Amino acid sequence: MATFKDFRNKVKPNWCPGCGDFSVQAAIQRAAANVGLEPDNLAVISGIGCSGRISGYINSYGFHGVHGRVLPIAQGVKMANRDLTVIASGGDGDGFAIGMGHTVHSIRRNIDVTYIVMDNQIYGLTKGQASPRSDAGFKTKSTPGGTIESALNVMEMALTAGGTFVAQSFSSDLKELTSLIEQGINHKGFSLINVFSPCVTFNKVNTYDWFKENITKLSDIDNYDPANRMQAMQTLMEHNGLVTGLIYQNSNQPSYQELVKGYDENPLSAQDLNLDEEKFNKMMAEFM
């Protein structure tokens, strides 16, 4: 049985010292081992940005996609090989700006993929510009006078889009984050896990101390029920989205794969895709 160490490789991350993404990487590796996966059972698909490098730092199948397109790739991998556990990962710029259209449709489609977003409220790889998650008034190189746009409330958006597993964590809370990733992997449907992952180089506002002072853990709220979608939305609005834990889960909604007619139990990746000459000629004749 694989352990945490089996999901390590010899590639040393080049994130800035103190970056929250280190903890996200460790949480993925721990969660994969805890749910009983082997490295060849897991595919980590990533987008562009500092967080996009994570697919190269984990001993598993990996694919580093283009900006904003991590989810189409991850869904294609899952449809081609339903036996793989697929984790998509990226940053708030990747998932909530150029990739937002894919994010919304992935949520409503409910395909069995776990999407982990490392949310640092800034563009880190391009040296510190405002992202869709930056608060109004946030001063960066691209908004020296302070951004005039309001921050995107992604957890509320996920609920309205029909999310069946919506969670949020803080990179400093490795125990909670690991548990949420385990739950996301085991959830039969699309799992969105947003992780507050501070950028220690370019974001001097949303720091580790700032999050510790402003975050509310859902486990500290009396009678919070993650099966209650209305309560989930109300709680997010009351706390300006700054909550951590399992926000909402609907285990009764069938996954995309369960609803696709004729979706073969034998993965496409294991099927013989060769065409004999007669069948090939017949298919070509349809286009002549």
At position 49, the amino acid (one-letter code) is G
Q: Which two tokens stand for residue 214?
A: 């402003």
3-state secondary structure of 159: helix
DSSP 204: S
CA distance linking residue 185 with residue 86, whole number of Å: 8
Q: β-pairing, 243-249 with 165-170?
A: antiparallel
With beta carbons less than 8 A apart as the criterion, state whether 253 and 110 touch.
yes
With beta carbons less than 8 A apart as the criterion, state whether 74 and 88 touch.
yes
CA distance linking residue 90 with residue 55, whole number of Å: 10
Residue spans per domain, the chain: 4-262
pLDDT score at 268: 82
pLDDT score at 263: 87
Cα 31 from chain centroid (whole Å): 14
CA distance linking residue 117 with residue 92, whole number of Å: 6
Q: Which two tokens stand for residue 96?
A: 């909530």
Cα 135 from chain centroid (whole Å): 21
Q: Which of 115, 28, 53, 103 is nearest to 78 (CA)?
A: 115
CA distance linking residue 120 with residue 138, whole number of Å: 13
User: What pTM value is reported for the model?
Assistant: 0.94
CA distance linking residue 92 with residue 134, whole number of Å: 10
Residue pLDDT tens, the chain, 288 long: 899 999 999 999 999 999 999 999 999 999 999 999 999 999 999 998 899 899 999 999 999 998 889 999 999 999 999 999 999 999 999 999 999 999 999 999 999 999 999 999 999 888 889 999 999 999 998 899 999 999 999 999 999 999 999 999 999 999 999 999 999 999 999 999 999 999 999 999 999 999 999 999 999 999 999 999 999 999 999 999 999 999 999 999 999 999 999 888 888 888 888 888 998 999 999 988
CA distances from 121 to 21, 91, 127, 204, 280 (A): 13, 9, 13, 11, 52
Q: Which CATH number does the domain 4-262 belong to among 3.40.50.970, 3.40.50.1470, 3.40.50.720, 3.30.413.10?
A: 3.40.50.970
Q: Which two tokens stand for residue 92?
A: 């708030």
Q: Which neighbouring-strand residues pair with 170?
A: 196
Angle between helices 70-80 and 100-109 (to 10 degrees): 30
**What's the chain's Rg over C-alpha atoms?**
20
Work out the number of other CB atoms within 10 angstroms of the CB of residue 23.
20
Residue with tokens 């020296």: 144
Q: β-pairing, 85-91 with 42-46?
A: parallel
